[in-house]
């Protein structure tokens, strides 16, 4: 390792350790100062991503915003995207599934085959989400996500700044890693942040329309995602998981 690379690595490791005591705003500022236009917020416009976008806007940071349109998003999500463009004056870099890969999947298995098995659902998520995510991240040095430790068991160990081995070893930044649901909503209400109106209808986690439902009292916040699956299956699409995880699920 060259002397320059050694110095860069040392700076990163120092920031990674210090970030656990930083506020979300400080993490966002560090990210923007470190990576400039080579970092983007990847979001499906749930409240976590909206908080990060609003913070960046208040800090005067012209943060790139990117999303994946799976082709099966709820109308409320598209309405929110229009509201975001007007409110924050940002372009939303939109990535779509590969039309050939998707057409082959639909031809062979049908539009709603994800209901048939976990492996089929994961394959659908790969085509509509994971593969477009790989394209979204091409050319970036880092990305920002709204992942929080309190969301699921698979996210309990995330750091505010970490190496994303699942996506080629680029840097992944999770400014809200230590936030709670209550903290997120308190920020949204205090700052009049736009949010998806499905939350007002009992939804607590929002993805594709056919794979998301409102939850009932006492259910886990992620219970509305892929609700027909066995509870032992992680409520993940694969974007925040390794390729090995997806392969293991599909082989079951």
Question: Which residues in the chain land under pLDDT 50?
Answer: 1-8, 245
Instruction: With CA atoms as reference, report the closest residue to 246 among 130, 79, 136, 105.
Output: 130
pLDDT, residue 59, reads 97
Give, for 172, the enclosing helix (H) or strand (E): strand 170-173
Catalytic residue IDs? 237
Residues in Cβ contact with 180 at an 8 Å cutoff, skipping those fewer than 6 apart: 148, 150
Instruction: With CA atoms as reference, report the closest residue to 39 among 20, 16, 62, 59.
Output: 62
d(CA 238, CA 97): 15
Rounded to two decimals, the pTM is 0.88
pLDDT, residue 248, reads 52
pLDDT in tens, 167-194: 888 899 999 999 999 999 999 999 999 9
pLDDT, residue 48, reads 95
Token pair of 23 as six digits:
């506020």
Q: Which CATH superfamily is domain 6-250 in?
A: HUPs (3.40.50.620)
The domain spans of the chain are 6-250
CB 171 within 8 A of CB 35: yes
pLDDT in tens, 132-151: 999 999 989 999 999 898 77
pLDDT, residue 152, reads 63
HSE at residue 49, side-chain half, CA atoms within 13 A, is 24
């Amino acid at each position: 390792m060259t002397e320059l690379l050694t110095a860069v690595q040392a700076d990163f490791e120092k920031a990674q350790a210090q970030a656990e005591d930083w506020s979300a705003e400080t993490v966002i500022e560090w990210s923007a100062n470190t990576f400039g236009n080579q970092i983007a917020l990847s979001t499906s416009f749930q409240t976590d991503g909206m908080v990060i976008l609003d913070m960046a806007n208040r800090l005067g940071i012209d943060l790139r915003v990117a999303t994946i349109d799976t082709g099966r998003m709820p109308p409320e999500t598209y309405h929110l995207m229009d509201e975001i463009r007007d409110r924050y004056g940002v372009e939303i870099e939109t990535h779509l599934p590969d039309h050939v890969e998707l057409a082959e999947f639909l031809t062979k298995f049908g539009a709603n085959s994800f209901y048939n098995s976990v492996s089929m659902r994961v394959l659908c998520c790969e085509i509509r989400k994971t593969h477009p995510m790989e394209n979204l991240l091409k050319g970036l040095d880092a990305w920002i996500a709204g992942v929080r430790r309190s969301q699921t068991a698979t996210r309990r160990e995330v750091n505010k700044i970490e190496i994303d081995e699942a996506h080629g070893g680029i840097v992944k930044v999770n400014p809200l890693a230590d936030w709670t649901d209550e903290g997120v909503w308190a920020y949204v209400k205090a700052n009049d942040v736009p949010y998806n109106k499905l939350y007002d209808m009992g939804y607590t986690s929002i993805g594709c329309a056919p794979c998301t439902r409102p939850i009932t009292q006492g259910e886990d916040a992620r219970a509305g995602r892929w609700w027909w699956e066995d509870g032992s299956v992680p409520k993940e699409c694969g974007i925040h998981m390794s390729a090995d995880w997806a392969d293991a699920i599909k082989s079951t």
